[in-house]
């Protein structure tokens, strides 16, 4: 009997990725189906549905699911879910598809990623898209819709993604035929929930904390992970290996940074590094909930939630992603409520007077004594070639990052925001 937290939804891992003869038969059938090209975000969502990362989802959301998630964090059957997982098509394509028809889902490169039985079609007007954006992306940093829309269309990549979606959502169950290039490109890092669960069980872990990473690991991340190791059996350093926004550092570089950090500064048996195939949505608090939801499927009992988790710009309050865990519904019924708990950690930094890593809860000193650590500030300094302050990152990690930036022929301007610089 596993001691790990059960997968979300009460149905075990709902795996839609085909293998063996079933896979070969479905691939042949897919060649003759109407093909719909999907976006990179939809492709990542499809793979997560396939490998059980989005359990209990077995397909893309119906309108009732979409509205329930936007309004109440609940699927139509009453299961907790924090963010819409939808697939869109042009109206002309959607009009040519009958409900009940099977279609093939194709990546931008032309690879058939899966098939889908379309059980429902529903239009997404501009007003519907704006509604989804306000529910999903609007935080305390922009408390009114008017303030939000003044900046969101230009500055929020998640909003831009939703507003650029095609006009009709297609809902229905999927059969997943490919994991893309993730198993090869990130061999040894990319893993399925069943694989991480097996490793946790072999290690004898029952409580596992996940550290979400989209930036290279700096001293604050290291400190968070070590706090988690003190209170849980182990930590799962789980990096996003899907698409990011321009200026973010590629996954393969971040993986190298984690490798060198774990090798030199952690007790290896207490750490596991992994990767997952989603694109960032930059949805702040709601994305923090999504991170906890799918980490539960990976066998994680606690999600580390620090400052401005999954945020972008100044859209969210500094600890809004922690506070939201106290506000979500806890539906009755086996598996319907979120079981993965937040590990809420205050703002962390290096204090010169403490002579070590500290947080607002442990350090009595002044702001001038603190070296504020932020992924945004680190990327900005490396991109512009400015000196990185002492104690910001481990030298072995900074060497890898300097090598990466030295090889860039084109650099993206990095905007800092209040939460990264201590202004919030």
- Residues 244 and 343 placed together within one structural domain of the fold: yes
- Residues 93 and 219 placed together within one structural domain of the fold: no
CA neighbours closer than 13 Å in the CB half-sphere of residue 365: 18
Determine if the pTM surpasses 0.85.
Answer: yes
- Residues 117 and 28 placed together within one structural domain of the fold: yes
Kindly state whether residue 9 falls inside one of the protein's structural domains.
no
**Averaged over 33-60, what is the pLDDT?**
98
Contact status, residue 8 vs residue 296, Cβ threshold 8 Å: yes
Kindly state whether residue 160 falls inside one of the protein's structural domains.
no
Residue 388 or residue 108, greater confidence: 108
CATH code for the domain of 256: 3.40.50.620
Catalytic residue list contains 219: no
Mean pLDDT lowest among 167-176, 191-200, 254-263, 286-295: 254-263
**Averaged over 43-64, what is the pLDDT?**
98
pLDDT tier at 5, thresholds 50, 70, 90:
very high
By three-state DSSP, how is residue 310 classified? coil
Catalytic residue among 41, 197, 214, 379: 214
pLDDT tier at 417, thresholds 50, 70, 90:
low
**Averaged over 363-385, what is the pLDDT?**
84
pLDDT tier at 175, thresholds 50, 70, 90:
very high
Whether the per-residue pLDDT at 367 is higher than 50: the answer is: yes
Q: State how far the alpha carbon of 339 is from the alpha carbons of 60, 176, 342, in Å.
A: 23, 27, 10
Residue 113 or residue 418, greater confidence: 113
Domain of residue 382: give its range: 183-421
**Averaged over 207-215, what is the pLDDT?**
92
CA–CA gap between residue 422 and residue 406 (Å, rounded): 28
Mean pLDDT in the chain? 93
Kindly state whether residue 319 falls inside one of the protein's structural domains.
yes
Kindly state whether residue 352 falls inside one of the protein's structural domains.
yes
Q: How many CB atoms lie within 10 A of CB 21?
A: 8
CA–CA gap between residue 267 and residue 11 (Å, rounded): 35
**Averaged over 213-233, what is the pLDDT?**
91
386-407 pLDDT tens trace: 888 888 889 999 999 989 988 8
- Residues 92 and 193 placed together within one structural domain of the fold: no
Q: What is the DSSP string of 238-277?
A: EEE-S---TTSPPHHHHHHHHHHHHHHHS-GGGEEEEEE-
pLDDT tier at 421, thresholds 50, 70, 90:
low
- Residues 68 and 197 placed together within one structural domain of the fold: no
* CA dihedral angle for residue 243, residue 246, residue 251, residue 257, rounded to 10 degrees: -160
For the chain, how many structural domains are there in total? Answer: 2
- Residues 320 and 252 placed together within one structural domain of the fold: yes
Catalytic residue list contains 214: yes
270-305 pLDDT tens trace: 999 999 999 989 999 999 999 999 999 999 999 999
**Averaged over 347-369, what is the pLDDT?**
94
Whether the per-residue pLDDT at 422 is higher than 90: the answer is: no
* pLDDT above 70: percentage of residues in the chain: 95
Query: Tokens 């697939």 belong to which residue?
Result: 87
Buried/exposed 40-54: b ≥16 CB within 10 Å, e otherwise: bbbbbbbbbbbbbbb
Residue 313 or residue 49, greater confidence: 49
CATH code for the domain of 35: 3.10.400.10
pLDDT tier at 415, thresholds 50, 70, 90:
low
* pLDDT above 90: percentage of residues in the chain: 80
Strand-pairing partners, residue 209, are 235, 302
Between strands 208-213 and 112-117, the pairing is unpaired
- Residues 219 and 353 placed together within one structural domain of the fold: yes
CA–CA gap between residue 347 and residue 318 (Å, rounded): 9
What is the pLDDT at residue 377? Answer: 74
- Residues 118 and 213 placed together within one structural domain of the fold: no
Kindly state whether residue 373 falls inside one of the protein's structural domains.
yes
CA–CA gap between residue 152 and residue 138 (Å, rounded): 9
What is the pLDDT at residue 424? Answer: 42
- Residues 217 and 174 placed together within one structural domain of the fold: no
Q: What is the DSSP string of 155-219?
A: H-HHHHHHHTS-SEEEEEEEEE---TTHHHHTTTTB--HHHHHHHHHHHT-SSEEEEEESS---H
Strand-pairing partners, residue 348, are 359
243-278 pLDDT tens trace: 766 777 888 898 999 999 999 999 999 999 999 999
CA–CA gap between residue 379 and residue 412 (Å, rounded): 10
What is the pLDDT at residue 408? Answer: 83
- Residues 172 and 265 placed together within one structural domain of the fold: no
Catalytic residue among 215, 243, 270, 297: 215
CA–CA gap between residue 302 and residue 205 (Å, rounded): 12
What is the pLDDT at residue 423? Answer: 47
- Residues 192 and 264 placed together within one structural domain of the fold: yes
Tokens for 285, please give them: 């608090």
303-325 pLDDT tens trace: 999 888 999 989 999 999 999 99
Kindly state whether residue 149 falls inside one of the protein's structural domains.
no
DSSP state of 83: S
- Residues 103 and 226 placed together within one structural domain of the fold: no
pLDDT tier at 372, thresholds 50, 70, 90:
confident
Q: State how far the alpha carbon of 12 is from the alpha carbons of 58, 65, 104, 119, in Å.
A: 12, 20, 26, 24
- Of 291, 158, 325, nearest in space to 213 by CA: 291
CA–CA gap between residue 82 and residue 52 (Å, rounded): 17
Kindly state whether residue 8 falls inside one of the protein's structural domains.
no
CA angle 48, 52, 57 (to 5 degrees): 80
Kindly state whether residue 359 falls inside one of the protein's structural domains.
yes
């Amino acid at each position: 009997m596993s001691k790990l937290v059960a997968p979300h939804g009460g149905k075990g891992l709902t795996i839609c990725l085909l293998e063996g003869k079933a896979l070969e038969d479905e691939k042949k059938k897919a060649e003759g189906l109407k093909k719909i090209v999907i976006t990179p975000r939809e492709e990542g969502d499809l793979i997560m549905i396939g490998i059980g990362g989005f359990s209990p989802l077995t397909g893309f959301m119906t309108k009732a699911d979409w509205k329930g998630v936007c309004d109440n964090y609940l699927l139509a059957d009453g299961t907790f879910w924090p963010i819409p997982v939808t697939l869109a098509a042009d109206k002309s394509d959607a009009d040519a598809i009958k409900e009940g028809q099977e279609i093939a889902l194709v990546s931008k490169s032309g690879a058939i990623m899966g098939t889908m039985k379309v059980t429902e079609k529903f239009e997404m007007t501009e007003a519907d898209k704006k509604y989804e954006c306000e529910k999903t992306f609007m935080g305390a940093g922009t408390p009114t819709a008017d303030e939000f829309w003044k900046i969101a269309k230009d500055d929020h990549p998640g909003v831009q993604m939703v507003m650029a979606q095609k006009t009709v959502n297609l809902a229905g169950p999927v059969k997943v035929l490919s994991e893309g290039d993730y198993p090869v490109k990130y061999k040894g890092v990319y893993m399925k929930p069943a694989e991480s669960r097996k490793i946790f069980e072999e290690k004898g872990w029952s409580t596992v904390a996940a550290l979400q990473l989209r930036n290279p690991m700096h001293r604050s991340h290291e400190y968070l992970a070590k706090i988690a190791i003190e209170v849980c059996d182990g930590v799962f350093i789980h990096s996003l290996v899907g698409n990011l926004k321009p200026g973010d550092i590629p996954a393969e570089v971040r993986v190298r940074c984690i490798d060198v950090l774990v090798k030199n500064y952690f007790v290896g048996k207490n750490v596991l590094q992994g990767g997952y195939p989603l694109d960032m949505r930059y949805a702040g608090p709601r994305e923090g909930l999504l991170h906890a939801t799918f980490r539960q499927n990976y066998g994680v009992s606690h999600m580390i939630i620090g400052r401005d988790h999954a945020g972008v710009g100044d859209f969210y309050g500094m600890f809004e992603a922690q506070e939201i865990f106290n506000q979500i519904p806890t539906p009755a019924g086996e598996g319907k409520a979120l079981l993965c708990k937040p590990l809420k950690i205050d703002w962390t930094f290096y204090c010169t007077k403490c002579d070590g890593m500290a947080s607002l809860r442990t350090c009595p000193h002044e702001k001038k004594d603190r070296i504020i650590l932020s992924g945004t500030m680190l990327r900005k300094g490396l991109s512009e070639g400015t000196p990185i302050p002492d104690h910001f990152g481990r030298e072995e990690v900074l060497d890898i990052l300097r090598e990466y930036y030295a090889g860039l022929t084109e650099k993206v301007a990095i905007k800092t925001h209040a939460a990264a610089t201590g202004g919030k």
